[in-house]
Copies of this chain bind each other. A is one copy, B any other.
């Protein structure tokens, strides 16, 4: 049966948010439309009232997750605080609500143009924010440090999650926190 425009918009939003979490947890192929719709409290048939295809939803869901991530990141005042949060055991365990780049990793490169364009924009935004957290040095130097810091963040989380041994996993997170959390100052100073 038909629902109000308001309710429909709510449903659509809920589908995107649910998918965003499920894709991060289970991967693009791991989360099916039937499972996503069920988790959003609907039936799979209605999916195509809101989206053209699964690919279409994937683009929206990833961008939604990344935008939220950029927003969350903007709340930290120092690089150290950001790093403690990003490279925490909590973030490492909780894939569904964390960084979409680390959660989807290499699969992003295999996705449609829509997904990749959105990801590119969000990474640019994230780098811009990181540049602002860097202290000292030229703009060029700060930008370089922002890039290597983001690389370290994503890589460390990927490694910490890939590894089977909790001790090694924690060691990776700690080493990366120490290495990248403190390097907001230009080391030439």
A158-B158, A176-B148 known; A165 vs B120 contact (CB < 8 Å): yes
A27-B107, A107-B107 known; A147 vs B162 contact (CB < 8 Å): no
Q: Is A137 an interface residue (CB 8 A)?
A: no
Residues on A facing B (Cβ under 8 Å): 26-27, 29-30, 95, 101-110, 113, 116-117, 119-120, 123-124, 143-145, 147-148, 150-156, 158-159, 161-165, 168, 171-172, 175-176, 178-180, 187
Chain B's nearest CB lies how many Å from the CB of A40?
22
Cβ-defined contact, B147 with A175, below 8 A: yes
Cβ-defined contact, B158 with A26, below 8 A: no
Interface of A is mostly: helix
A172 partner residues in chain B, CB cutoff 8 A = 147, 151
Chain B's nearest CB lies how many Å from the CB of A76?
19
Closest 7 CB pairs of A and B: A105-B105, A155-B155, A148-B179, A105-B106, A151-B155, A154-B155, A151-B156
Task: Kindly state the separation between the CA atoms of A175 and B123 in the bound complex, as whole angstroms.
Answer: 15
A145-B179, A164-B120 known; A105 vs B158 contact (CB < 8 Å): yes
